[in-house]
Amino acid sequence: MTMKRFLSALFALTLLLVVACGGGKEASSNEDEGEDDQEAQTATVASTTGGTAAAPAAAAAPVSADAATITGAVKLAAAAPKMGTIPMGADPYCQSQHTAPALDEEVVTGPAGELANVFVYIKDIQGNFPPPSEAVVLDQKGCQYFPHVHGVQVGQPLQIKNSDATLHNVHAMPEVNGQFNEGQPVQGMVSTKKFDKPEMKPFKVKCDVHGWMKSYMAVMPHPFFAVSKMDGTFTIPNLPPGTYTLVAWHEKYGSKEQPITIGAKESKAVSFSF
């Protein structure tokens, strides 16, 4: 009798283990299928112009423990030229997006001559600097480009977004990299591009539908660049100590250069005047 009870208990335990293992395998399979479906949807979105922005990447670590920082300011020495209003009347939608007339952004200054939209970068630096996975976004909003001046690294994704409910045609005009000319007729469309060659002198991006729309972009082999803000300031962090040439470029006033030597963990201030 004892042997029968032992065999019955053993059979019940074996049956329970079989059912449990089978159920676990089925749940795992369902989870895998769900993950596969999600991955497929993500891949589909990323491959179309209607894709969403990539998830932000982690902040880049300093190049070395001795990394230095350049801070600076850019000013316009003369009186700023008066910028004209942008004639948006040809597209009523564009005009409706502004409560006051939009101004041309060729020269943007602060109250004391602080010069914005100056692209500042290190001209001569050796090393291998992998591009960030986080995309740079060029937005079309109110029938203007945002930002007006920016940089992207070689191999870094560039997402061009149409936030307007009107047709835009993005025409990039690099001299070293391949040009592209692409329509975005639907609000919310996003096109993703990459550049495979350095092009440190900023080139023009324009809209063939709205002739006033323009922005400037550089393709950098390294991350040591910045754009001056409305107060004319800029910051280039995580720079290896050394002697370099610092370049400041403006769409109207051209380029200026100055040498700079910066030590380990040093923070050095520089200034440019146009």
pLDDT tens, position by position, 85-109: 999 999 999 999 999 999 999 999 9
**What is the C-alpha to C-alpha distance for residues 8 and 34, in angstroms, rounded to an integer?**
39
Question: Shortest CA distance to 168 belongs to which of 138, 199, 134, 131?
Answer: 138
Q: Which residue in this structure is represented by tokens 């630096």? A: 125
CATH number for region 68-273: 2.60.40.420
Percent of the chain residues past pLDDT 90, beyond the cut: 75
Q: Give the pLDDT confidence of 5-30 residue by residue, as tens digits.
A: 544 544 444 444 433 444 443 333 44
CA–CA dist 95, 120 (Å, integer) = 33
Confidence of residue 37 (pLDDT cuts 50, 70, 90): very low
Residue whose structure tokens are 């990539």? 54
**pLDDT tens, position by position, 121-149:** 999 999 999 999 999 999 999 999 999 99
Question: 2 pLDDT exceeds 80?
Answer: no
Torsion of CA 123, 126, 128, 130, to 10 degrees: -20
**Alpha-carbon distance 184 to 186, whole Å?**
6
pTM comes to 0.77
Residue 63 has what pLDDT?
A: 57
3-state secondary structure of 32: helix
Domain ranges (residues) in the chain: 68-273
Q: Is the pLDDT of residue 59 over 90?
A: no
Check: CB of residue 233 under 8 Å from CB of residue 57: no
- How far apart CA 138 and CA 218 sit, in angstroms, is 13
Q: Which two tokens stand for residue 169?
A: 């045609």
Confidence label for 239 from pLDDT (cuts 50, 70 and 90): very high
